[in-house]
Amino acid sequence: MQTECTKDTKAVQSKGQKAEAVSTVQSMTSEAVPSAGASSGSNSTGLDKCISTAILTKWGAQNQQEAFYTEAHLVLDTRVEGEKTTVYLLEQFYRFSFENDRFVVTSGHSSPVVMVFTRNDDDTFTLLDYHAPIEQTLEKEFSQNAIEKFRALSEEQLKPLQEKVKLDAESFLKGAGYDESTVIDINFSR
């Protein structure tokens, strides 16, 4: 069984996002996600890939001048209510460019995010909402479990995200024909 991830751009735009930032609709197929009864906090492959697609689509469409961009995320909590799946996560997004023979992060961010998907009859997910609560509204917009996990995040828990970003950058460089001597300069901060 396959799962397709699509975006409902009208719903995303209704939260005040610029159309240019969300107008590109990307589809991807992946392994099926467990039924709507999935346990809270599950990080299913299909939904996980849909989250990645949403992050890359939202932030990647904003500026095409960088050589490369990538994302990493940590799901803090997942709530399933009927056809809707709400995901609370920490997202990281980084853009890379070449500067003085170094492959460096030119911009990026790390922030708490809420994504709401609807699960369709054909086992596809449609992104309905994507927003980053500000610190003052985190208590209202995040589940209590997600808030506790977010506030307790340690550098050790963030290392897998940083490793993923570094591996993505290395893979890009290798695929683009650069040798291993190209220095990747990444400065991570939460």
The DSSP line for 22-73 is H------EEEPPPPTTPPTT---HHHHHHHHHHHHHHHHTT---SSEEEEEE
The answer to whether residue 190 is domain-embedded is: no
Residue 24 lies in a domain: yes
Report yes or no on 80 lying in a domain: yes
In a domain, 146, yes or no: yes
Tell me the mean pLDDT per 10 residues along the chain, length 190. 46 31 25 25 65 91 76 96 95 90 88 93 87 90 95 92 92 86 69
Domain assignment of residue 15, yes or no? yes
**CB–CB of 13/133 below 8 Å?**
no
Q: How many domains does the chain have?
A: 1
Q: Which pLDDT tens digit goes with each residue over 87-123?
A: 999 999 999 988 888 888 888 899 999 999 998 887 7
User: 3-class DSSP state for residue 50?
Assistant: helix
Distance CA 167, CA 72 (A): 11
Answer whether residue 47 is part of any domain.
yes
Task: Tell whether 54 is covered by a domain.
Answer: yes
Under DSSP, the state recorded for 38 is P
Strand pairing category for 68-81 and 84-99: antiparallel
Asked if residue 12 is part of any domain, the answer here is yes
Structural domain including 47 reads 2-185
Residues 6+ apart with CB under 8 A from 189: 110
- Name the helix (H) or strand (E) containing 173: helix 155-175
